[in-house]
Amino acid sequence: MPVPFEALIPLGLITGFFGVSGLLFQKLKVSVNEGQPPRYGNDRWDRVMMDRDYRLTGTQRGQAHKETAPAGFSTNSAWDLEKEHL
């Protein structure tokens, strides 16, 4: 028994909406990561380096090419509060 042509219209709409939403979600992920693929399986070292890169450049995915840090890098430490142990 053939498929009625009326069933193809909703099938096309559902497929189209899923395709468009998947494409928009992918573009959103790429734009959030500044055009780079998303990072998976980050360990502590990767997170520390991402924090350092953020403090150097102001972006999560940016990396600095200069051999010296900017003047404000020494005062914007990752350690918010350090308790002295006496």
pLDDT tens-place string over residues 54-86 = 888 878 787 777 777 777 666 666 665 555 555
Render pLDDT for 4-31 as a digit per residue (tens, 0 to 9): 888 889 999 999 999 999 999 999 988 8
Is 51:77 a contact under the CB 8 Å cutoff?
no
Q: Cα dist. 10→1, 2, 16, 79 in Å? A: 19, 17, 10, 56
Helix (H/G/I), strand (E/B), else coil: 75 = coil
pTM for this entry: 0.55
